[in-house]
Chains A and B, each alone.
Chain A
Amino acid sequence: MVRSPTVVVTGTSRFIGARVAGRLAADPRVGRVVGLDTATPAPDFADLLRDVDQVRADAGAASGIIADLDASAVVHLAVVSGPDQQYGGRAAMKEQNVIGTMQLLAACQRASGLRKLVVRSSTAAYGASFRDPAVFTEDTEPREVPRGGFARDILDIEAYVRGFRRRRPDVTATVLRFAPFIGSTAETSLTRYFAQPLVPTVFGRDPRLQFVHVDDALEVLHRAVVEDRPGTFNVAGPGVLTLSQAIRRAGRVAVPVLEPGLSGAAGVTRAFGVGRYGFDQIDLFVHGRVVDTSRLIGEFGFEPRSTQAAFDDFLRAHPDGALLAGDRLAAAEQAILDGIRRARATRAGDQRELA
Chain B
Amino acid sequence: MTVPDRPGDVWDQRVAASLAFLRRRLAGEYEVDEFGFDPELTEGVFLPVLRALYREWFRTEVSGVEHLPVDGAGLVVGNHSGTVALDAAVLTAILHDEHPRHRHLRLLSADLVFRLPFLSELTRKFGGTVACNPDAERLLGGGELVGVFPEGFKGVGKPYSQRYKLQRFGRGGFVSAAIRTGSPIVPVAIVGAEETYPMLANIAPLARILGLPYFPVTPTFPWLGPLGLVPLPSKWLIEFCPPIPTTQFADHADDPLVVFNLADQVRETIQQALHRLLDRRPDPFGR
Contacts and interface: CB of A to CB of B under 8 A. Distances in A.
Interface of A: 130-135, 137, 140, 202-206, 208, 239-242, 244-249, 259, 288, 290, 324, 326, 329-330, 332-333, 336-337, 340-341, 344, 348, 351-352, 355
B28 A208 contact: no
Nearest to B1: A355
A133 B130 contact: yes
Contacts of B132: 131, 133
Nearest to B19: A333
B7 interface: yes
B117 A344 contact: no
Interface string B1-38: 01100011001100110011011011111101111101
Given A240-B34, A248-B28, A330-B23, A130 B114 contact: yes
Contacts of A140: 134
Contacts of A134: 34-36, 129-130, 135, 138
Contacts of B28: 241, 244-249
Ranked 5 nearest A-B pairs via Cβ: A204-B117, A248-B28, A249-B28, A133-B134, A245-B28
B36 A240 contact: yes
A290 B124 CA distance: 13
Nearest to A311: B28
Nearest to B27: A326
Contact of A135 (B34, B114, B118): B34
B151 to A, nearest CB: 19
Contacts of B3: 348, 351-352, 355
Given A130-B111, A133-B134, A352-B3, A333 B36 contact: no
Nearest to B111: A131
B32 A133 contact: no
B134 A208 contact: no
Most A CB contacts (10 A, CB to CB) among B20, B118, B121, B132 go to B121
A133 B19 contact: no
B115 interface: yes
Contacts of B269: none
B20 A242 contact: no
A140 B138 CA distance: 13
B121 to A, nearest CB: 4
Nearest to B8: A344
B26 A324 contact: yes
Given A248-B25, A329-B26, 20 more contacts: A130-B130, A133-B132, A134-B34, A134-B35, A134-B130, A134-B135, A134-B138, A204-B117, A204-B120, A205-B117, A206-B121, A206-B125, A240-B33, A245-B28, A248-B28, A290-B34, A326-B29, A333-B20, A336-B19, A344-B11
A132 B36 CA distance: 14
23 contacts: A130-B120, A131-B111, A131-B130, A202-B117, A203-B117, A204-B117, A204-B120, A206-B121, A208-B35, A239-B34, A241-B28, A242-B38, A249-B27, A249-B29, A259-B117, A288-B36, A326-B27, A326-B29, A329-B23, A332-B23, A333-B23, A337-B16, A355-B3
